[in-house]
Amino acid sequence: MHASEALWGGRFEDSPTEFTQAFGASLPVDKRMWESDIEGSKAHALMLARQGVISEEDAASIRAGLDAIAAQIDEGDFEFDIDDEDIHMSIERNLTEAIGAAGGRLHTGRSRNDQVGTDARHHAKKLAAGLAHQMLDLRGALLELAEDKFGVVMPGYTHMQKAQPVLFSHHMLAYYWMFTRDFERLQAAYAAADVLPLGSAALAGTTYPLDRHFVADELGFASVAENSMDAVSDRDFLLDLSYACAVAMMHLSRLCEELIYWSSNEFGFIRLSDAYSTGSSIMPQKKNPDFAELIRGKTGRVYGDLMALLTTMKGLPLAYNKDMQEDKEGVFDAVDTLGNSLVVMTGMIRTMQVNEDAMRTGALGGFMAATDLADYLVGTGVPFREAHAIVGRLVLECEKQGKTLQELSADDLAEVDEHFAADALEAVDIDKVVERRTTYGATGHDAVKVQLEHARESLAADTNAMAD
């Protein structure tokens, strides 16, 4: 395409080379925003007519032409041409070829700078809402699992060393609340994008009597940008969405890490469905948690998407710069990766089998009732630090003899310290160890029942909010 044929080519004598034309094009990336671009242009045309900037007839022709293009794209009959550079010019050129001079009046009062900002925000809202719905599905799966396996005891860890026994439900609910925060971050990203830049033109506003609030209402934006320079150069909303994706992927990766080692022969706490496992090309016995590993691996790329956009934006003066064309590819990758990962994780959670016996056996090892023995001594008047030392020596002796705390007799305990009486054996009963954790948010049965109730309430409230 010669420069004179481009929609911006009036002041050019020479054209970009075929290579530089392709190098500068964003159409392969931003064409996925076609629906937002068309909706924005329809609203803009309607407003121009209401304000007397263009005729009602031209506005009707423009809107009908845009509907026809939308139908073509939706049916796969629209031909995207790399010479058009981006989705905005692709649609405008095809519109003008279809309806004539009226199509050339569509761009009155706007620039690609405020147009792309509008498209990106409109599209980002859809992306954030879609991810939020998928996050609800995962939270629901975790909550169902926590309810179904209520009462199952498993080892809790710190530093990957056995620490204290917890309910498996409590462990799953820890992830439920992580993903609840991710849901809230996606809602915040939606709110950050819910501001209309259209009407800011290139950077300074326009001389046409545009009604920006009318366009905001037509497109469903909550407010209108206050400053035209900020409006066309702001990509914070994309950073917010990328950040929400990165944190959610981090939470998914942490859960994957646990599912990976829980499914190993060394732990045997869970069995992943065959649908979420693969085998080895050489070792017939292998059942590998590949999909959990892939989510864990893809997390790093989503981190990179966030850092790429932060780095792109860090040195840009006001207002618009072509660097900002690089804002969407990483965001779209982050959104796609999180969306696919949520689908996989939800499926893994719904189909995995829990080995309750293996979890309980794991909770009986590792001297996980040691803290409760120390607390028992505190109850007899022994200072905690002294009690800590006494039980520490007891654990050391058990290790030497190859015994667990549950295998000790009342006499064994009494030999270690005179403050141990017969009822000290209750301190090492795993079920009672769990049950004694009664504080708000703890792992005891009553506390977890309260937590489950609050989780059900939060899921219902968020589901209803999304429905609205």
Please give the chain's pLDDT, 468 residues, in tens. 555 566 656 777 778 888 998 999 999 999 999 999 999 999 999 999 999 999 999 999 999 999 999 999 999 999 999 999 999 999 999 999 999 999 999 999 999 999 999 999 999 999 999 999 999 999 999 999 999 999 999 999 999 999 999 999 999 999 999 999 999 999 999 999 999 999 999 999 999 999 999 999 999 999 999 999 999 999 999 999 999 999 999 999 999 999 999 999 999 999 999 999 999 899 989 999 999 999 999 999 999 999 999 999 999 999 999 999 999 999 999 999 999 999 999 999 999 999 999 999 999 999 999 999 999 999 999 999 999 999 999 999 899 999 999 999 999 898 889 999 999 999 999 999 999 999 999 999 999 999 999 999 999 999 999 998
Among this protein's residues, is 36 annotated catalytic? no
Residue 379 to residues 32, 428, 439: CA-CA distances in angstroms?
66, 15, 18
* Helices vs. strands in the chain: H and E counts, helices first: 19, 6
Do the Cβ atoms of 263 and 271 come closer than 8 Å? yes
pLDDT at position 18 is 87
In CATH, the number for domain 113-141+163-362 is 1.20.200.10
Per-residue pLDDT, 2: 55
Options 159, 228, 264, 388, the catalytic residue: 159
Beta carbons of 167 and 437 less than 8 angstroms apart = no
CA distances from 204 to 201, 232, 418 (A): 7, 10, 84
* Residue 3 pLDDT: 55
Q: Which fold has domain 370-428?
A: Ribonucleotide Reductase Protein R1; domain 1 (1.10.40)
| Catalytic member of 223, 273, 280, 409 | 280
Long-range contacts of 98-102 (CB under 8 A, 24+ apart): 98/65, 98/68, 98/69, 99/61, 99/62, 99/64, 99/65, 102/54, 102/57, 102/58, 102/61, 102/62, 102/65
Mark whether 159 is an active-site residue: yes
Which pLDDT does position 15 carry in this prediction?
A: 80
Cα–Cα distance for residue pair 141/138, rounded to 1 Å:
5
Domain ranges of the chain: 25-108, 113-141+163-362, 370-428
Task: For tokens 């790399």, name the residue.
Answer: 82
Fold assignment, 25-108: Fumarase C; Chain B, domain 1 (1.10.275)
Q: How many CB atoms lie within 10 A of CB 391?
A: 25
